[in-house]
Amino acid sequence: MTSPLVKIESHPQSAKRLIGINYEQFMTLVMLAEQRHNQKQTEIQKNKVRLIAPGGGRKSEMSPKEGVCLCLVYLRQKPTFDILGLLFDISKTKANDAFNYWVKILREILPASQMEEVKKDSHKYQELRKIMGLQYLLC
């Protein structure tokens, strides 16, 4: 079974169909996610109590590009984690863990809508609704 990432890299025009964004947007998103991932790993390493020398231990099974692709495939296609694991040649547990890790990073990178940002604060929510209502009337 061909991995969705391999399919996207060999046929960039199919990216929109598979993950919902075009290839250039995907590569930009991967670059931003990789930067945020590296920042998080640096923060973790600063606070980590080391038992093994830096650089030792098991290497990650997924690259940032594969992690972002896995996350986008899941959000676009909604397969079970069993199927997602088969697509990316990992276990369903690792697919679930990878999805949850990368979706947190994507949430930090991608801007939330204004409604999501203020929905917990009822005063700001009402103000935004008034502004949006006025903008709708002016258009």
- For residue 132, the model assigns a pLDDT of 60
Q: Which long-range contacts (CB under 8 A, 24 or more apart) does 85-89 make?
A: 86/1, 87/1, 87/3, 87/4, 88/3, 88/4, 88/5, 88/62, 89/3
In the numeric block, the tokens 């409604």 are attached to 115
If one counts every other C-beta atom within 10 angstroms of the C-beta of residue 1, the result is 8
Three-state secondary structure call for residue 90: coil
Cβ neighbours for 95, distance < 8 A, ≥ 6 positions apart: 70, 81, 84, 85, 88
In the numeric block, the tokens 């960039």 are attached to 12
**2 CA to centre of own chain:** 21
8 A C-beta contact, residue 138 and residue 104: no
d(CA 37, CA 25): 18
Q: pTM for the whole thing?
A: 0.74
Q: What is the pLDDT tens value at each position of the chain, 139 positions in all?
A: 678 999 999 999 999 999 989 999 999 999 999 999 999 988 887 887 777 776 666 677 789 999 999 999 999 999 999 999 999 999 999 999 999 999 999 888 886 666 666 677 778 777 766 666 644 444 4
**Token output for 111:** 């801007």
